[in-house]
Structure 1
Amino acid sequence: MENIEIKPVTKNDVADLQKISIQTFTETFAAYNTEENMAKYLREFLSFGKLSEELDNAYSTFYFATLNNSIIGYVKLNFSNAQTELQDSNGMEIERIYVLQEYFGKSVGQVLFEKARQVAEEKNLHYMWLGVWEKNPRAISFYKKNGFIEFDKHIFKLGEDEQTDIMMKKILNNGKSV
């Protein structure tokens, strides 16, 4: 897709970040989860206050994907102790990468992934890692296509429901085996 631009998310963008976060998360997972569990997750993890805190964290970075000045997706990257699990200074977590459903199949996710890889390489990191829901074959296929391999599993709590995420990593060109 032409003219996709990537721009850093700033403190002034919290309302826009919340809007795209809620919309993409709902589009992706509402059909597979109860309304109560979805509402609890959105309230606890995608609130204005929670997203503001995440933006204030010096070890987390967000980027929007925009097309014609409209936000169509975003990515959240975590470094050092902001990582949800590994917290390795040689690694970077892609905690979230979401695209509006109407832009699926139009390379928006690939552009966001390329930005993540660029950031990791600029920081001379050895690898990137992420967790992806085991029941999300589209995302798993995307990550495998981009060179990620499975290395573990962890529990992701959505509301009251404990779900299994596959943990995947990609060794970078300057990386060493971890």
Structure 2
Amino acid sequence: MSSIIINKAGEKDLETLQNIGIQTFSETFSEDNSEEAMKKYLEESFTTEKIESELANPDSFFYIAWEEDNPVGYLKVNSGKAQTELQDETSLEIERIYVKKSHHGKKVGQLLYDQALETAKSLHKAYLWLGVWEQNERALSFYRKNGFVEFDKHIFVLGDEEQTDLMMKKMID
């Protein structure tokens, strides 16, 4: 495997973010969810207007993991009012770390997480937090390995289906 480069994404990366977002979300969750729920979620979450709005938000940051000219994963973090729930000025939310299935186990997720941690430190945040589906054992294991602990739960709606996400956080040294 050639080396992975993490680059901050901007408006020019909109189509790349849409494509990799749809691909990685589908690869990760299609087996465990109905086709209708997946279709509805993907159509609502990755519209050009929604991604443009997220890219334009000064409190949201996107990073893409590249292997040569191939995007293999991405990260979205939120600060301040862009956070989906807590909106604590001392925290940074990891909203998404998604990696193509072809690159699972190749440390791409770790590089993206390291970027989230670096971003939090540069913004002088006290902690990172996120929500992860309670049945996503791979992700739960990854976050626990990186020092995250559960502190609450919330409902995540996929299509018309309600699922429970575990909310996890990690204090920054």
Normalised TM-score (structure 1): 0.95
Counterpart CA distance in 1 for 2:42 and 2:49 is 12
Paired letter, 2:166: I
- Residue deviations 1:23-69 (CA, integer Å, cap 9, x gap): 00000001111111101001111112111111111110000000112
Counterpart CA distance in 2 for 1:136 and 1:147 is 17
Residue 117 of structure 1 aligns to a residue whose secondary structure is helix
Offset of residue 112 of structure 1: 0.3
Identity level (%) = 52
In structure 2, the partner of 1:49 is 49
Residue 16 of structure 1 aligns to a residue whose secondary structure is helix
Counterpart CA distance in 2 for 1:154 and 1:110 is 25
Residue 58 of structure 1 aligns to a residue whose secondary structure is coil
Residue 117 of structure 2 aligns to a residue whose secondary structure is helix
- Residue deviations 1:147-170 (CA, integer Å, cap 9, x gap): 000000000000000000000000
Distance 1:120 1:42, change over 3 A: same
Counterpart CA distance in 1 for 2:48 and 2:163 is 25
In structure 2, the partner of 1:9 is 9
Counterpart CA distance in 2 for 1:47 and 1:21 is 11
Segments of 5+ residues of structure 1 without an aligned counterpart are 174-178
In structure 2, the partner of 1:167 is 167
Q: Which runs of 4+ in 1 moved over 6 A?
A: none
Offset of residue 124 of structure 1: 1.1
Residue 165 of structure 1 aligns to a residue whose secondary structure is strand
Give 1:29-108 correspondences, 5 Å limit: 29-108=29-108
Counterpart CA distance in 1 for 2:146 and 2:88 is 21
Counterpart CA distance in 2 for 1:2 and 1:137 is 28
Offset of residue 2 of structure 1: 5.1
In structure 2, the partner of 1:113 is 113
Normalised TM-score (structure 2): 0.98
Offset of residue 172 of structure 1: 0.2
In structure 2, the partner of 1:154 is 154
Offset of residue 12 of structure 1: 1.0
- Residue deviations 1:88-127 (CA, integer Å, cap 9, x gap): 0100000000000010000000000000000101111100
Paired letter, 1:48: T
Segments of 5+ residues of structure 2 without an aligned counterpart are none
